[in-house]
Amino acid sequence: MLRTARQPVTSDEENGTVVRKAEKAYSWLREEILAFRMQPGMFIDKIEVCEKLGVSKQPVTAALTRLEQEGLVEIYPQRGSYVARLRLGAMTESLFIRGALEAAAVRRLAEEGNDLLVHTLKRSLEAQEAALTSDNPGRYYGLDQEFHATIAKGLPYPQVAHQIDIGLATVKRCHELFRPDVASIRSSYEGHVRIVAAIEARDGEAAAREMSNHVSEYTAMLKSFADQRPELFVG
């Protein structure tokens, strides 16, 4: 039997492998940071991350650069990479950008009409309400993130969805650090209900207004947290 010679690995294949490994490192590091398993100010040991994920330094370096662009990592020449500290100004700005983008998103979605999206959002509302009345209302946080991600993905603009996701990361860090009370969670849920109702009614103005008010609640919550625990925030 003739043996087929092994084909050389092309540069495109090598690049594809690096990209996949970088995405793996990015996703893992991002979740560790957002879940506060990596604390603000903590040194990120590249070698340790490489060993844990079974990848080389190149994908980890690429992942850290990407996380730095999102404000989740701080990189210092000759010193290394650290989990970004909670910067009130940057987080407030991120929420402002998110609010503007999401308001524009729901305005367009409402005006264009999208029955499938409305159906998906209503299913999400049902799950959120169930979480509120369960023994573990903390489940609401994940559903809240999914709700907003669904709206972002309803537009044919990946970069808009990415920017909204960065704003959602700010909220997730707050949720992990300061668990809001049930009343605050219910207020968030009721905001979602009004947003979906406006989208279904194809009232773009109302949808945008409700979304702006909704995100403003997160900004107020963030500032309240900063007042309660000023030692955790800088800038």
More confident residue, 119 or 137: 119
Question: Which of 5-9, 81-85, 135-139, 167-171 reaches the highest mean pLDDT?
Answer: 81-85
Rounded alpha-carbon distances, angstroms, from residue 91 to 140, 171, 216, 223, 230: 22, 9, 13, 10, 14
Give the range among 32-36, 64-68, 211-215 with minimum mean pLDDT: 32-36
User: What percent of the chain has pLDDT above 70?
Assistant: 91
- Judged against a pLDDT cut of 80, whether residue 180 lies above it is answered with no
d(CA 152, CA 155): 6
Closest to 34 in 3D by CA, of 140, 141, 187, 137: 141
Closest to 222 in 3D by CA, of 40, 33, 83, 88: 88
Dig out the tokens for 132 from the structure.
């509120």
More confident residue, 94 or 122: 122
What confidence score (pLDDT) does residue 123 get? Answer: 98
For residue 234, the surrounding DSSP H or E stretch is strand 233-234
Give the β-pairing of 86-87 and 233-234.
Answer: parallel
- Judged against a pLDDT cut of 80, whether residue 16 lies above it is answered with no
- Judged against a pLDDT cut of 90, whether residue 192 lies above it is answered with yes
Q: Tell me the mean pLDDT in the region 111-122.
A: 96
d(CA 177, CA 23): 26
d(CA 5, CA 233): 59
Q: Which residue has the tokens 């991600």?
A: 149
For residue 43, the surrounding DSSP H or E stretch is strand 43-44
Rounded alpha-carbon distances, angstroms, from residue 137 to 129, 171, 185, 189: 9, 17, 8, 12
Strand, helix or coil for residue 73: strand
Reported confidence tier of residue 122, pLDDT bands at 50, 70, 90: very high
What confidence score (pLDDT) does residue 32 get? Answer: 93
Reported confidence tier of residue 12, pLDDT bands at 50, 70, 90: very low
Reported confidence tier of residue 110, pLDDT bands at 50, 70, 90: very high
Look up residue 73 and give its amino acid.
V
What confidence score (pLDDT) does residue 22 get? Answer: 93
The structure's pTM equals: 0.75
Sheet containing 43-44: order of strands: 43-44, 80-83, 73-76
- Report pLDDT digits (tens) over 54-108: 999 999 999 999 999 888 899 999 899 999 888 888 888 888 999 999 999 999 9
More confident residue, 1 or 209: 209
- Report pLDDT digits (tens) over 46-60: 999 999 999 999 999
Burial class (CB in 10 A: 0-12, 13-18, 19+), 2: exposed
- Judged against a pLDDT cut of 70, whether residue 15 lies above it is answered with no
Mean pLDDT over all residues of the chain?
88
Domains of the chain: 12-85 (1.10.10.10), 88-230 (1.20.120.530)
